[in-house]
Structure 1
Amino acid sequence: MSIATVGMASLAEIDDPAPVLLTVEEAARCLRIGRTTCFALIRAGDLESLTIGGLRRVPADAPAAYLARRRAEQRAA
């Protein structure tokens, strides 16, 4: 493999990496809820988020973790 090939592979990965963080709007779309409801879940501590500068971001795995907790709670009830 040439250096040029390795360089192109690295650039391809940089151009379209899997997101590590989601905006609140993207997280809301994942959960199929509204933006306001998503912010309410964040405020209540039900959906993990963090602030970077002045931006609120949701880890990409947080919506799935929230759903897993909700499903477990409903099964236990």
Structure 2
Amino acid sequence: MAIVTNLDVMMAKRKVSLKELADRIGISNTNLSLLKTGKVQGVRYKTLNALCRELDCQPGDILEYRPGDEEEEAGGD
């Protein structure tokens, strides 16, 4: 997929665990883990807002567009 998640990088920079962050933003560990590994189809603005608030970052610090990865998406599913 052309959009990749750098949530693990931001969590490491802020020294926050998956469980702690999930508790602070009010989602399950499972859903946060799926988001962290890029195994989701979308993210709610409410969740993105909470992540940015708790990690003191911008959406672009968490989500990144990598051109050229579209072929992988078109060939899958």
TM-score, reference length from structure 2: 0.34
Greater RCO structure (CA 8 Å; 6+ sep): 2
Bigger strand share: 1
Return the index of the structure with the highest Cα Rg. Answer: 1
TM-score (norm 1): 0.34
